Structure 1
Amino acid sequence: MNLFAHLDPNTEEEKVDIMYRNAHARVERIVSSGQVSPGGFWYEQDEDEWVLVLQGEGRIQYEKGNEAVLRTGDCILLPAGKRHRVSYTSQNPPCIWLCVFSGKEVNK
């Protein structure tokens, strides 16, 4: 398995691949090429999410307006229930996120 394989930066949609899953955790690779959360949409997840940017840049905006800028190698923990949205992703290179979900709802 190679986290940088099968990348297509010329797509309209994010690509989400589940890399690993069990009863306690789920690991996803997400490739974003300029996609952001729809206006007015907020994630408010039942699980914790640890996010690492493998390539490119992404920005996570919180409900109160502050923003976390994540570049290659940066990581962040989004606790369950923390309202957030993706406000920016780089296109060239695409933003590659590695996301680890843990908690009671990981097998959605």
Structure 2
Amino acid sequence: MSFSAQCLTGKMNAFENIRLADEEIFETITKSEYVRIERIISNGQKSPEGFFYDQDEYEFVLLLEGEAELFFKEKGRVRLKKGDYLVIEPHELHRVEYTSKPAIWLAVFYR
């Protein structure tokens, strides 16, 4: 498995260079054929009404800062606070109901 050189060439910090915007910011930290790691910066955003994510891969999500609430079609609501994490199974329909200003996520997508 070969990861991109971005992460290997220098030290980075998940809490530096935080930009708040009207749209969520998705930054790929590193990726390979089977894994993608992203930092996601939310600023009060939520999923559009009636929209559900339906992903082909697993997603490990860790809330590094702030608060958030997810809604799973089969399981209901899950409230997250700083430090909470969970694994979202492939094709587990879910949506973002709430994010604080800011909410900083570390998301690992894998197959």
For normalisation by structure 2, the TM-score amounts to 0.86
Q: How does 1:93-104 map to 2 (within 5 A)?
A: 94-103=102-111
- The CA deviation string for residues 29-56 of structure 1, in whole angstroms up to 9 with x for no partner, is 0000100000010001000000000000
Query: Match of 1:23?
Result: 33
Pick aligned residue for 1:3 from 11, 14, 30: 14
- The CA deviation string for residues 30-85 of structure 1, in whole angstroms up to 9 with x for no partner, is 00010000001000100000000000011110114711111100001100010000
Pick aligned residue for 1:81 from 88, 91, 96: 91
Query: Match of 1:106?
Result: none
- Tell whether the 8 Å contact from 2:54 to 2:91 is kept in structure 1 after alignment: yes
Unaligned runs of 5+ in 2: 1-11
Work out which structure has the larger RCO, using CA pairs closer than 8 Å and 6 or more positions apart in sequence. 1
Shift in Å at residue 8 of structure 1?
Answer: 2.1
Secondary structure in structure 1 of the residue aligned to 2:47: coil
What is the aligned-residue identity percentage? Answer: 41
Q: Which has the larger radius of gyration?
A: 2
- Alignment RMSD: 1.0
| Structure 1 Cα separation of the partners of residues 19 and 38 of structure 2 | 17
Which portions of structure 1, spanning 4 or more consecutive aligned residues, are displaced by more than 4 angstroms?
none
